[in-house]
Amino acid sequence: MTAFTILGLIVVAAPALLVAILGLSSLFSRPLSERRTSVVVKSAMFTGLIASISILALMLIKNERRVPIELGHWVVLHDHDEATEPVDPRREAPHNTHTPPAHPAHPLYHFSFKFEFDRLSVPFVILTFVLCGTIGAFADKYMHREAGFNRFFVLYAIFVMGMVVTSVAGTIETMFTGWELVGLSSTLLVAFFQERPNPCRNGLRVWVVYRLSDAGLLSAAILLHHVVGEGDFDRLMGAGAWPEGVAALTSGQALTVGLLLLFAVAGKSALVPFSGWLPRAMEGPTPSSAIFYGALSVHLGAFLLLRVSPILALSPVLAAVVVLLGLATAVFATFAVGVQTDIKSALSFASLTQVGFIVAEIGFFTWIGPRTGMPWLLYFPLIHILGHGCLRTLQFLRAPTLLHDYRVLENAFGGSLTIVPPSADDRAARPGMVRLYRLAMNRGNLDAILVRYLVDPVLAVFRSIDRFERRWISRLNGKPSEFE
């Protein structure tokens, strides 16, 4: 076992162990005390961070650009017909159920856990540990004596694990696993203050968008398997290390797979038209808002696009769609951010503006990079993600003390910093601006449009069918159900 393998395993095992400790203690109704929880969280984050930095250092020293770590097959099925093991004549069956053939010609099905440390995943996983560690330390104080302290940290641990698995995933199935964990933990944290209905409604909204985008990712993964026969990123993206890989697809296949992936990205990163869930997600506690929507989770879609950038490079149409979607999101978020009345919503839209730019950069550079012999241009969006993530985390964590900070600034300047709002005369002179203001307040009506034209009709159909079924059952039974 090489040093890379050991360190790679530590990177993944640290958050997994955290989930196991916090999760099992909760499952058996024996939650850890706040102090112990804090120690366990800090230890896990510190260990994971040190291991990931060590991997980076080793990669730089050994000049390795890509370090795949294979944990072997999690599930593997062999075709019985292709088994090469000699058949025991004493047995009636072709082979022993418990001891499958040692060297079958080809696996019929396999699901591998494979992790890949390269110039994309290592910075992202380091960012994950740095920010999650910071948030963990912050939340330890922020959530002190909160009724859901333990629940918060269980969900936090699941989130960290999901982020780490997604970051270092070497196959699209492994990435899907992490992607789902991030989605679930985010949803439950949005609904963290669960004794009020609004957080729960908003949590459900987030979950709906996530699940549908997950279906997009799953479909893309399956289609990739169908077309290429593999879900491993290194097989899919060719021999070159990121960002120099070349995908083994045709332009048409790249477009189809890419659009499905883009759907998943749009849901996860709140791109247009799914941007409506982002301000709703601010119902959660500030540490989770910071970690999910300011710094890490909202960038996950952009990370996926960077990971599959060789696919984007194959289709000019796809690259153009990515650029347009990114720019549209940036414009929309800029439009909405100016009228937000609470700091967390304002920050979330500010964050979304940058995410839109990052997505547009990815679309542009994946197209330009390989054609100009400068694939390294993709480092720009990656650097943008890293810088933006750190900045937003700081802003979100300072959000609860905004008024205090404001007062400090005013004292330093020696005067009021309050912006004078426009007068009634100004507003009357520009009626179009009022309409725009209303539109911005309603966040472009994106949510309302989706609900009215997509969600409501579907639910209405099923509700009508449900009513019909109930009537039909009552008729067949000869009386209505007493539980109606």
Partner 1 sequence: MNELHFAWIEFAILLPLFGALLVSRLKNPGTRQTAALLVGALTLVAALGDFEDFYMLHIHQAASDRWRLMTRIFGRELFVVDELSAPLVPLVALLYLLTNLATLRTKLPRVSFGRLLLSESLTIALFSSVDPWMIIALMSAGALLPYLELRSRNQPTGVYVLHMGAFVALMVLGWSLLDGKPPGSQPLIGLIPLMLGIAIRCGVFPFHLWISDLFENSSFATSLLTCTPLAGAYALVRLVIPTASHDLLAVLRIVAVFTAIYSSGMAMVQRDVRRFIACLFTSHSSLVLAGLALATPHSTTGALCLWFSIILATGGFGLTLRSLEARYGRLQLTKYLGLYVQSPALAICFVITGLASVGFPGTLGFIATDLLVDGAISANPIIGALVAVVEALNGIAMLRAYFLLFTGTRHMSTVSLQVRPRERLAVLTLAALILGGGIYPQPGVVSRHDAADVILSEREKNVGPDPRESTPEAEVGAAERTRTSPQSASASAADRR
Residue with tokens 């194959």: 314
CB 308 to partner 1: min, Å: 16
For 255, residues 6+ apart whose C-beta sits below 8 A from its C-beta are 315, 317, 318
For 38, residues 6+ apart whose C-beta sits below 8 A from its C-beta are 136, 140
Residue with tokens 């301000």: 279
CB 202 to partner 1: min, Å: 10
**In which region does residue 381 sit, left (phi positive, over 0), alpha (psi from -120 to 50) or beta (all else)?**
alpha
CB 479 to partner 1: min, Å: 6
Compute the C-alpha angle 134/55/181, nearest 5°: 55
Nearer to partner 1, 430 or 463 (CB): 463
Nearer to partner 1, 74 or 406 (CB): 74
Nearer to partner 1, 1 or 476 (CB): 476
Residue 274: both structure tokens together: 């799914």
Distances (CA, A) of 93 to 103, 107, 207: 18, 20, 47
Question: What kind and span of H or E run contains 346?
Answer: helix 343-371
Q: Whole-angstrom Cα distance, residue 352 to residue 327?
A: 11
Q: How far apart are the first and last CA of the chain?
A: 63
Nearer to partner 1, 97 or 423 (CB): 97
Residue 24: both structure tokens together: 């099992």
CB 472 to partner 1: min, Å: 7
Nearer to partner 1, 405 or 469 (CB): 469
Nearer to partner 1, 48 or 101 (CB): 101
CB 222 to partner 1: min, Å: 5
CB 115 to partner 1: min, Å: 15
Nearer to partner 1, 203 or 444 (CB): 203
CB 217 to partner 1: min, Å: 9
Compute the C-alpha angle 355/359/362, nearest 5°: 140
